[in-house]
Amino acid sequence: MYINREISWLEFNQRVLAQAMRRELPLLERVKFLAITASNLDEFFQVRVGGLMLLQQSGKNHTDLTGLSAGEQLEMIRLRAARMVADQYMLLNNDLLPLLQRSGLAPMSLDELSEAQYSALEDHFLANVAPLLTPLAMEVEHPPVLPSLSIVLGVELADASDGSTRFVAVVLPECLPRLVHAATLGKDGYVLLEDLVAEFIGHLFPGERIVCSSPLRVTRNGDIAVAEQEGSNFAREMEAVLVARKFSDCVRLELPAATDMEFARQIATLVGADEFSTYRVPGPLRLVDMSRLASEPGHESLKVETWAPAFPAGVDPDLTMFENIAEGDILIHNPFESYEPVVKFVEEAAVDPDVLAIKQVLYRTAKNSRFIEALCRAAESGKQVTVLVELKARFDESHNMVQAERLQRAGVQVVYGVKGFKTHAKITLVVRRENGTLRRYCHFGTGNYNEDTARVYSDLSLLTCDEHLGADASQFFNSVTGLTKLRHFRRLYPSPAKMKEHLLELIAAEERRARRGERAEIRAKMNSLNDPEMMEALESASAAGVKIWLNIRGICCWVPSTPAGRANTRIVSIVDRYLEHARIFSFGNGGSPLVFIASADWMRRNLDRRVELMVPIENRALAARVLGILDACFRDNMQACLIGADGSSSPVLVQGNEPGFAMQQYLHGLARQSARARERAGRQTLEPHRPK
């Protein structure tokens, strides 16, 4: 049984919103989750709604797996998204804002200011805000295109002499903070930037009267792909895509509910929004900015307790990373364990005189990336450095282009991915001279090389110098840089060539065991599931008696259609303080589980249209650790939700006297316990032997 992808995603975002509704959580943690739902919804409209609108406009009669046309999906989205927005603002207005008010953290109304405060704010506007504002006349033959996702103040003006009116738009500069903390407002007092600008905007229009004003926000279609042509300059093509996004169609217009109806219609006409893409909200626009309240220093009692990452028990800080890896494979589970050893691996390689070559795939990097710094340093010192930079990483294209140019200036050989495919694999290869021979050290991961997101994304890293994996890593880079087929691998399973084929074989093997009456089991953890072949295979396996346990954070387009399949399958989603991002797959294999980590979800785009990697975990101790993570997924009865037949979610409830169990809390404690055990073992090793 298939579930519409877009509705499944909206149900995932509702699960995130449910965290903001939990009154037992600290206030600013709830505010953070509300801001996350707003950010998620922005990207959903840019990409998914934008893509469906393009499909509808094309006139092509394409339907999704559930048989719905683009127009039918857009109507479903409009109704479901409207309910979600109503839930967001009901939570904000009825619950969070009163609590913020009580804590002195709610935005102040200009009506409640004293005369001195009001005057000081006007001075602040004239000195620090007005010089940065640029009114844009909209009632011209070719009105300017308002930027996507920015807050804009729409203003109707009347001439003082003849009463004629005109319409202007004032884009609020992104360089100005949304929350205006002026000294006159006290320690935590602030007003919203749009309120400040609306109050004093008349200073910009001498001789004219403000008839009406309202903040507004336009979301534009971000689903514009680069047209890869033979012989084209790929970076230049990507620049064209970034320009096109600035002028793409409006897919959503947001206005305050109190906006005058006629004024709202005028705005909609000017930005090209129809009634179905207009959302009137009972509160401030761009709720994503509320995350700043949660991230600013102070008010620790209103936040969750910080979990400091433990230093990985498998890494000896007194040894180099090469010495550590040479002692045996290392598994790191961030952010429960520190991501620092992965960064250190590349930084040490950059300065190690015995390292001859470094090769790495970069998809999304931190703003001030230490990986980029290290790679530049390595190239400048004469090492052979090759980096595949994926320019098609959506909404990170501009950042990646800047990083690629910097790498090239340092002497790095930069490759811009594989034509027709996104390269999403997480892999680093370091070639080192040791005892007159070359040895290959590798890192494989489920998450990006981004030390910032590694603090909030839950991912796995494997560091190894295994000969077979090293040879495969070399073959992988030769294939993607030399544009040869992804074939002849010993241990790795890349997509689009090998991964899906092997996964289907593994599912079929479990189904054969079940049909013979043997125990058969599939357990997997991923972000999304929508690949038709994978879902068909799971459907058949579940009906045959295979026990299937899936932990899917986001989109899940499959639930079993037969009673036997439903009895054999459990699908859960966990939303907690960290974003669940690791992909883990386990197949029972008659009692000797086959365990893999991967960069890919079981989505058509990952398995058929991206260059990805699936890596076996063959070290027994590390495989047991990975299986322990899966065990914890399905024990969670505090943060987990069950996915129902219609794609909706219901919380997993504690049964009877069963103790409460939260996966992330358990994994955090486990990482700290392992680190302490390693420290104790190290101290005992250093102590001299004292005979009795």
Residue 236: pLDDT band with limits 50, 70, 90: low
Residues 589-618, mean pLDDT to the nearest whole number:
97
Residues 614 and 539 in one domain: yes
Of 411, 399, 407, 328, the C-alpha closest to 367 is 399
How do residues 290-323 score in pLDDT, each as one tens digit?
999 988 888 999 999 999 999 999 999 999 999 9
Residue ranges with strand state E in 132-277: 135-137, 151-159, 165-171, 179-180, 191-192, 208-220, 250-256
Residues 451-466, mean pLDDT to the nearest whole number:
97
Residues 330 and 212 in one domain: no
Q: Is 415 helix (H, G, I), strand (E, B) or coil?
A: strand
Neighbouring residues of 260: CB distance < 8 A, sequence distance ≥ 6: 212, 214
Residue 418 has pLDDT above 90, yes or no: no
Identify whether 679 is part of a domain: no
Residue 247 has pLDDT above 80, yes or no: no
Residues 392 and 477 in one domain: yes
Residues 43-49, mean pLDDT to the nearest whole number:
94
Residue 231 has pLDDT above 70, yes or no: no
Q: With contact defined as beta carbons under 8 Å apart, do 435 and 425 qualify?
A: no
Neighbouring residues of 492: CB distance < 8 A, sequence distance ≥ 6: 469, 472, 473, 476, 498, 613, 614, 615
Residues 96 and 140 in one domain: no
Residues 476 and 520 in one domain: no
Residues 86 and 38 in one domain: yes
Q: Return d(Cα 561, Cα 646) in angstroms, integer.
A: 11
Residues 313-336, mean pLDDT to the nearest whole number:
97
Residue 85: pLDDT band with limits 50, 70, 90: very high
CATH number of 403's domain: 3.30.870.10
How do residues 643-661 score in pLDDT, each as one tens digit?
998 889 999 988 888 899 9
CATH number of 21's domain: 1.20.58.310
Active centre residues (catalytic): 424
Residues 528 and 556 in one domain: yes
What's the pLDDT score for residue 647?
A: 86
Residues 339 and 473 in one domain: yes
Identify whether 337 is part of a domain: yes
Identify whether 50 is part of a domain: yes
**String of DSSP letters for 346-393:** HHHHHH-TTEEEEEEEESS--TT-HHHHHHHHHHHTT-EEEEEE-TTS
Residues 260 and 210 in one domain: yes
Of 216, 211, 203, the C-alpha closest to 171 is 216
Structural domain containing residue 1: 1-107
Residue 143: pLDDT band with limits 50, 70, 90: confident
Identify whether 686 is part of a domain: no
What's the pLDDT score for residue 245?
A: 55
What's the pLDDT score for residue 692?
A: 44
Residue 232 has pLDDT above 90, yes or no: no
Residue 225: pLDDT band with limits 50, 70, 90: low
380 CB neighbour count, 10 Å cutoff: 14
Identify whether 288 is part of a domain: no
Residues 610-615, mean pLDDT to the nearest whole number:
96
- Report how many domains make up the chain: 4
Q: Is 383 left (phi over 0), alpha (psi -120 to 50) or beta?
A: beta
Q: Return d(Cα 215, Cα 259) in angstroms, integer.
A: 9
Residue 332: pLDDT band with limits 50, 70, 90: very high
CATH number of 228's domain: 3.30.1840.10
Strand partners, 422: 610
Residues 273 and 130 in one domain: yes
Identify whether 189 is part of a domain: yes
Residue 103: pLDDT band with limits 50, 70, 90: very high
Residues 428 and 563 in one domain: no
How do residues 192-224 score in pLDDT, each as one tens digit?
999 999 999 999 999 899 999 999 999 999 876
Q: Return d(Cα 90, Cα 71) in angstroms, integer.
A: 29
- Residues of the chain with pLDDT > 90: what percent? 81
Residues 131 and 165 in one domain: yes
How far is residue 687 CA from its own chain's centroid?
Answer: 46
As a whole number, the mean pLDDT across the chain is 92
What's the pLDDT score for residue 230?
A: 46
Residue 490: pLDDT band with limits 50, 70, 90: very high
What's the pLDDT score for residue 241?
A: 54
Identify whether 438 is part of a domain: yes
Output the pTM of the full model. Answer: 0.92
Final residue before a domain boundary, out of 73, 92, 107:
107
Residue 684: pLDDT band with limits 50, 70, 90: low
What's the pLDDT score for residue 60?
A: 83
Final residue before a domain boundary, out of 68, 90, 107:
107
By mean pLDDT, which of 127-131, 162-166, 308-312, 588-592 is the weakest?
Answer: 162-166
Identify whether 677 is part of a domain: no
Q: Return d(Cα 639, Cα 664) in angstroms, integer.
A: 9
Query: What tokens does 552 get?
Result: 């899917």
132 CB neighbour count, 10 Å cutoff: 11
